[in-house]
Structure 1
């Protein structure tokens, strides 16, 4: 549903793809014609899609960075020089500027009150 696309070192930002609108429309069409037994499940699915669509882009990027760092075995602060190097090794097309920006954004997200680790 949500992902990051390929980028070149020149474009500076990963492509964030959200398909919540298309998924919501498909679920609504299915709900319109669903038998009573299927309605609760489709209504729950619609609520989950709405919840996922409400997640801010910055939080999605922070999750993406943390997943890359965790997969590489890195456990320190996300905005350290080592973390940025690890991130760029994991994602070679990521520019230094983008990696630094994402690392700082991740550090802010992880230090925010109520931030939970989602790997």
Structure 2
């Protein structure tokens, strides 16, 4: 992950005083229907701890652990960039990516409803 972060322009990290952290844990979404919706990364803004990003290695392994190393690293890079986009949008007072994440959650719920409906 160090190489991914080092490859990005320095300006992106402005005000990200807590940096990008890697936690070993698996984190399930509190919005999940089943145990199939993992949180891969999170952007945090805290008045005490500041701004920082957490990448959940355990979740990445559960979701993408079957991929080749090259594809896995690409997915990891995508997650880091996704969370950095949240950081940039937060600084700019934009919410486009938050809205996109909400649309993805709605799609997740729709997929589960269709799946349950086809079984019933």
Please say whether Structure 1 and Structure 2 have the same fold, judged by a TM-score greater than 0.5.
no
Which structure dedicates a bigger proportion of its chain to helix? 1
TM-score, normalising length: structure 1: 0.25
TM-score, normalising length: structure 2: 0.25
Which structure dedicates a bigger proportion of its chain to strand? 2
Larger-gyration structure (1/2) = 1
Q: Which has the higher contact order (CA 8 A, sep 6+)?
A: 1
